[in-house]
Structures are given as structure tokens and as C-alpha cells.
Amino acid sequence: MIILHADTNHPTLMKKLEEAGHHNIEGYEQSREETLQNQHLYDGIVIRSRYKIDREFIDAAPNLKFIARVGAGLESIDVDYAEERGIKLFSAPEGNRNAVGEHALGMLLSLFNRLNKADKEVREGLWHREENRGVELDGKTVGLIGYGNMGKAFAKKLRGFDVDVIFYDIKDGIADENARQVGYDEFFEKADVVSLHTPWTEDTHQMINKEFISKFKKPFWFINTARGKSVVTADLVDALKEEKVLGAGLDVLEYEKASFESLFSNKKNVSISAADPIPDALRELMFMPHTLLSPHVAGWTKESHEGLATVIADKIIAEFGEGDYKK
């Protein structure tokens, strides 16, 4: 097959595909429009998040056999239309689930022990011990929303702590030795920590909002390593002010560009001071001492970089076998 690579990835991906006899085309600098003009030439396309694969794109690719996204989700692809056209879809949540689990745990422990706040203060010459007294994770109930690859990886990381791990998921019967499945009533009653591990869909869009937060019986800590648009930031900020949410670790933000490559839809790699205007809710969030922010890097480790590439290559080869270019 002739395979277009629209984004850069770990070299393992192209190496494995080449060794299996497929021909790789590097299209890193091509715009979406340039790719559309030549899409009839390709049998497959490998993307990350640089642009969307919609009906127009798919219609311009009569020979397309597969679309592979080197990442966990497929929200940048019109999945229904691709499947209607018989196009195979690949993603690689197995490749970065461990990284996400570690990142979520790191955020949680940092928030509990005020590490980001304490570090900043010590660097400024301040020695506030009582103000930075932490809380312990042991004895808490950690609630996960979504128990797929990412949720299961986080639950596994929590095994070394004396915690009760519960989860809510729309699929039934998926509990394992690391977590037990509960209904929303028990989830809202018992959770001390809420960690989001859902894909972005119409159902999860803005699901963490004022109404949702109000259902919890006690204040909780919030972690989001999933998708930013699943959270209404203004409602989260209000909950932090009202201490309904005790602290928030956010690897993803509502305002980030759809490609995940920059924070604002019309800005790329600019400092916050250069972004005008900054949403009021984000501005408030940034200056709250009990929040921890990172730039959508939970699954972005050196190991996962290669892992994602390996998973995608193996899935393509398993489905389509060896190509005519194999020596």
C-alpha cells in the first residue's frame, strides 16, 4: 500500500511499515487542501491531530483503505461516514495508557501535597510550612469516570495505596481486580477524587458542569487527562471558589485548539501574555494556587512516543499483511 503520513511520529512507525513492504509518503508540510488534491493516490493515511478527516476528505479518497490516528481517540475523524465507506479505522490507546496513568497519579499527589505551590514559594524565598500542610491519599475513595484503557491504567497505579477505587462507565460488567463498578448515586456519594477518562463525544461534551458538580455529597478533587471540552471551565472555577472542588489537575483545557497543538484557536505557540483576549475563566484558573496545569502531555512520554507508533504499525500490518515493496 501507499501510505501518507500527515504528521511526524516516531521513526519506528515508518520503519515497520517499510519492512512489511508498504510505501511511505511524508506529507508533514502539506496543507489539508494540498493533501485533498492528491488523496486519490493513497491507500492509507496516518494522522495525529493536525486536521480533521471529514466527508469532504473521505470523498476525495476513493482508494482509501484505512485511517490510522497515532493517539487514543478518533474524534478528529467522521467515524460513521468512514465506516459506511468500508474504511478501517485504527487508534492506539494501548500505546500511551501507562503514561496517562502515571501523569494522573503525579498530578493527584502534587495537588494533595501542594507541591506546585510550595515549590514556587521556596524559589521566592518563602518558607510556609503550615500553609503547605498536605493531605494523604490513603483512606480516600477515588472515582473514575470511564473505565477503558486510560481509566484501567490509572486504577492499576493506585494499587499501592490504601484507597477504594470505584468507577462509572456506560458499559456494564467491566470491573476488574483494580476497581469496582458503581452507579452514579454511589459515585456521587462516595468519591473524594474524580478523574475523567472518557473520549470526547456529544454525550461527554461539557458533562462536567455546574449541575454535575452539585450532585456530589462532599467536596472532591478533580483530575482531567481526557478532553478539555468535557469540562465547563467557568463552572469549575466557581466550584473551586466555593470549595465544592478542593483542587484541580488539568492536562487538557476547554480552550485548546482542536489539533491539541496550541492553546487558542487562532494562536500557535504564543505565550499567554500574547493571547488577546484571554477567557475570564481561564485567567482566574491560572492564578488559583490549588490548580495544576499541563499542556496536554499526559500521554506524551518518550516511551509512549515509540509505543504509539509500534501499536499503529502492528495493527495496520495485522489487518493488511505485507505489501508488494517487501524485499
Residues for the chain: how many in total? Answer: 327
Cis bond upstream, residue 219 (ω within 30): no
Asked if pLDDT for residue 22 goes beyond 80, the answer is yes
For residue 244, what are the β-bridge partners? none
Asked if pLDDT for residue 261 goes beyond 80, the answer is no
Q: Which of 189, 196, 188, 187 is nearest to 166 (CA)?
A: 187
pLDDT grade, residue 321 (50/70/90)? confident
Q: How many CB atoms lie within 10 A of CB 59?
A: 13
Q: Which residues are catalytic?
A: 227, 256, 296
Coil vs helix vs strand at 92: coil
Mean pLDDT value across residues 52-78: 93
The predicted-structure confidence for 211-256, as pLDDT tens digits, reads as follows 999 999 999 999 999 999 999 999 999 999 999 999 999 999 999 8
Residue 225 and residue 231 in contact, taking contact as beta carbons nearer than 8 Å = no
End-to-end CA distance of the chain: 14
Specify the pLDDT at position 162: 97
pLDDT grade, residue 322 (50/70/90)? confident
Specify the pLDDT at position 274: 52
The torsion angles phi and psi of 280, rounded to 5 degrees, stand at: -55, -40
The predicted-structure confidence for 101-112, as pLDDT tens digits, reads as follows 999 999 999 999
Task: Copy the grid coordinates of residue 39.
Answer: 488523496
Distance, CA of 11 to CA of 302 (rounded, Å): 13
Distance, CA of 153 to CA of 135 (rounded, Å): 23
Asked if pLDDT for residue 257 goes beyond 70, the answer is yes
